[in-house]
Amino acid sequence: MRLQTLTASLLASITLATPIRRDVSAELYTLRLATPYTPLNGLYLHALTPAQNATAGIALGVTPSTQGGDDSAAVVVYPVANPASGLAELHTPDGGALVLVGRHGLLDLASVVGDPAAAPVPDGVTIDWTSFKLADDDGAGSLGFAGGVGRWVAFPSAPAKSGDPQAWGVKFKDSTAATTENYVPVTILYEPLKKE
């Protein structure tokens, strides 16, 4: 009897510790930039290195000179819809989620591991993972944010080390954000993950 109880407890703890996609039938998507600024247009979002990171979680962005049109390192997400609000959370297959985190109207698009509600957030910092809008614009899906009036932008980030290519962090900028003018307006497109 003890062996059965021990086995059941062990299996239960392993099962509870394993991240599970909430909706296994949900389609997986990659996120790509669309912008008139040619060096960034068509690039897939990926995790930036920690040295290029200024937020909680891992900031998302693009690196033009190394990534090209390659989507092998692209962030992969699946939407979890909230039927009451019509908005979505964007979860990652490894049990994480995408969040917008920052302050003063400038929010970094980032990926967190685990439940975003459990992420430590300093006072004065905004974090939102429940207000993404998925629009289907004539067959091209675009990602929006219902948590404020503003737009997606890409800001240049400091290279991880000297000689590394210029990375660009993707952020949501609302009308209250006071920033330098060195950003590029972008649209984030979502598209089904290419199956090989």
- pLDDT of 14 > 50? The answer is no
- pLDDT of 16 > 50? The answer is no
Q: What is the pLDDT of residues 20-68, one digit of tens each?
A: 344 555 789 999 999 999 989 999 998 886 544 444 567 888 877 555 5
Mean predicted confidence (pLDDT) in 116-120: 85
Q: What value, to the nearest 5°, has the Cα angle with vertex 59 and ends 56 and 65?
A: 155
HSE, CB side, 13 Å, CA atoms: give it for residue 77. 31
- pLDDT of 5 > 50? The answer is no
Cβ(167)–Cβ(52) below 8 Å: yes
Q: What is the pLDDT of residues 64-95, one digit of tens each?
A: 755 555 667 889 999 999 888 989 999 999 89
Dmax (CA) for the chain in angstroms is 69
Q: Which of 3-12, 58-67, 99-108, 141-150 has the lowest mean pLDDT?
A: 3-12
Name which CATH class applies to 26-192: mainly beta
Tokens (6 digits) for 91: 């979860």
AA identity, residue 83: P
- pLDDT of 141 > 70? The answer is yes
| Residue closest to 21 by CA, chosen among 79, 83, 75, 60 | 79
* Res 104: pLDDT: 87
Cβ(172)–Cβ(103) below 8 Å: no
Determine the Cα–Cα distance for residues 123 and 140; give it in Å rounded to an integer: 38
The domain spans of the chain are: 26-192
Burial 163-172 (b: 16+ CB within 10 A, else e): eeeebbbbbb
